[in-house]
Structure 1
């Protein structure tokens, strides 16, 4: 699995790819991301170049893909990355050729897609995204590194990830994920604001299901570090009504609220969350902590197999595992099933 290891006392690094270990003076990862001249891509590339995605010791090569009309703007982003003089950045490829963009990449962050707009039918959005992701899936399958990890950000993220999986059958299903870490981080932020605590003192929220307004932010297992030890969030909030109503609604409508406020969709927070998603997947989650990732369902918690569904996961050595054995109450069961139903409906619209 892709990982980063530093040889003590030398500053040299190992790059562990698949099952072989290669010793190099510079162990570079390559990244391919679509539509980098968009808001998320523009926010994301300096984060990658600074080490926010793979840590402060891992050199990177960034491959950027965009559509032909954006080629000049893409070159401008490349120039800015050069001007940023990022010590970890070992190269930048700016291209409109999907094969060139996907060549030998270890991690692919898929930002491009056809968004749903007011008056657009969901089936029309999905059919257009099939055309986009079919071409990119083929390029990844044929030209990316054998164990390439894929993160789909473009909405509808869960179903776009499923489309990519269908058209890239040789990519292991566990290597195709979608971003629900943004929702996870939003939940951490809401709880920390409510309680007046540091966000890093809150852990183990869960985002179940779809990255949409049906998502279920679950705090039944969430804890907060206090001066007297870990406390359950419900005990500290002491307002079950808020946690079961306003908190959930705020979470489900957060993206729309940001669009209303800034007249554009989330970019900075989405880029930061994408870095968090990949970093934890590749480097690992802290002991006792889980995160939310949209992954291929194996039937855990009664969720239909074959959906890309957000679960609580832990990560180690480049692999994710769904957290098992969590108690699910009736309220949670209904919410989890409702968001699964939406994903089943979206899947049925795939050609």
Structure 2
């Protein structure tokens, strides 16, 4: 600071002493926030050098997932031959200079990665290749999620919240849960928030409104082409007026036809156009899922999460099924009492049957 700048600052303090008080108050508030800073949470991300993680990790580090006052320690897990690429990701995180990022652990050892984990985001999975049968895909992933489930059971906190992203996400989640019996079953979830967001986006596009004006669409069932995007109970605000989505769109043929198939096949359409699978939108959906689970959903708003079925809506227990939920105080609750039409029931049962078949095939691989 130059001599002239110092003189101007002294003169300003003499003329406007109240501003000094304001500065002191702001300084005290900053100190209070620092002293009340929460203990850092440990967040595991598997497949940490992959495309989804490359979009996801900066969002976690800058507070999008847990809020602006929550420090994080990232535990990054990759297979050994990818560790050099993972080190590049670590360097970029360091260069990002994120104030909330307290530390980074990069490893190929699941027991190191899951040690004392508060959250586990299981992104990495064996991808389906051309000509591969679904049973072969399930077999490959059964081994991965067996190891990760066992590591969670052995070294993670018993309160750990798990989100499975790697496909087939619902069944991979079931496998991880199976091999972590000491962790509450309800702590295992799979990602259908991406499908939920896609459904909202399609409704908003159809009506020419913002996605913030579209509420309470539902994804039932599996994160696959059998999922059922349901608009029968949702609503939308158009020109300040609240309407049901059905009334606003006024085209049931579209909502029960092209709308459903567009959401179901959106991932494949992105691969065809981009030559890579969804990454940016998947990362955003992961943040949405965890943020709402931890910080809660707005009053009257529900979102889609694949969770252990408890028999709600006559879906048998024993699968990970996407339901409409609300979240509060770190827990989710399946929304009850919604009217299910005959059309909806058929779609909901079909996607359950696929999950039951996947479960049977996956568990056979482990015999």
**Shared fold per TM-score greater than 0.5:** yes
Moved over 3 A (4+): 226-229
1:18 alignment counterpart? none
Q: Give the aligned partner of residue 3 of structure 1.
A: none
Residue ranges of structure 2 left out of the alignment (5+ in a row): 1-28
1:304 pairs, out of 302, 313, 316, with 316
Secondary structure of 1:27's match?
Answer: strand
25-34 or 272-281: bigger deviation: 25-34
Q: Give the aligned partner of residue 93 of structure 1.
A: 105
The SS at the match of 1:31 is: strand
Q: Is the 8 A contact 2:40 2:71 kept in 1?
A: yes
- Give the alignment partner of residue 33 of structure 1, picking from 45, 53, 60: 45
- Other-structure match for 2:344: 332
Q: How does 1:175-324 map to 2 (within 5 A)?
A: 175-324=187-336
Could you tell me how far apart the structure 2 residues matched to 1:88 and 1:194 are?
Answer: 39
- Does the aligned pair in 1 maintain the 2:46–2:77 contact within 8 Å? yes
The CA deviation string for residues 152-208 of structure 1, in whole angstroms up to 9 with x for no partner, is: 000000000001111111111100000000000000110111111111111100000
| CA separation of 1:25 and 1:328: change in aligned 2, threshold 3 A | closer
Describe the shift of the 1:313–1:8 C-alpha distance in structure 2 as closer, same or farther (beyond 3 A). farther
Deviation at 1:277, TM superposition (A): 0.3
Equivalent residue pairs, number? 335
Residue 11 of structure 1 corresponds to which residue in structure 2?
33
Which of 173, 184, 189 is the matching residue for 2:185? 173
Question: Does the aligned pair in 1 maintain the 2:311–2:317 contact within 8 Å?
Answer: yes
Q: Determine if contact 1:296/1:306 at 8 Å carries over to the other structure.
A: yes
Cα displacement (A) at 1:228: 4.1
Higher deviation after alignment, 144-153 or 49-58: 49-58
TM-score w.r.t. length of structure 1: 0.93
Q: Whole-Å Cα distance in 1 between the matches of residues 215 and 47 of structure 2?
A: 32
Bigger Cα displacement from structure 2, 218-227 vs 175-184: 218-227
**Structure 2 equivalent of residue 73 of structure 1:** 85
Q: What is the aligned partner in structure 2 of residue 4 from structure 1?
A: none
Give unpaired runs (5+ residues) of structure 1: 1-6, 14-23
- After TM superposition, the structure 1 stretch with the greater mean CA deviation from structure 2, 101-110 or 120-129, is 120-129
Distance 1:265 1:145 in 2: 32
What RMSD, in angstroms, separates the aligned Cα atoms of the two structures? 1.4
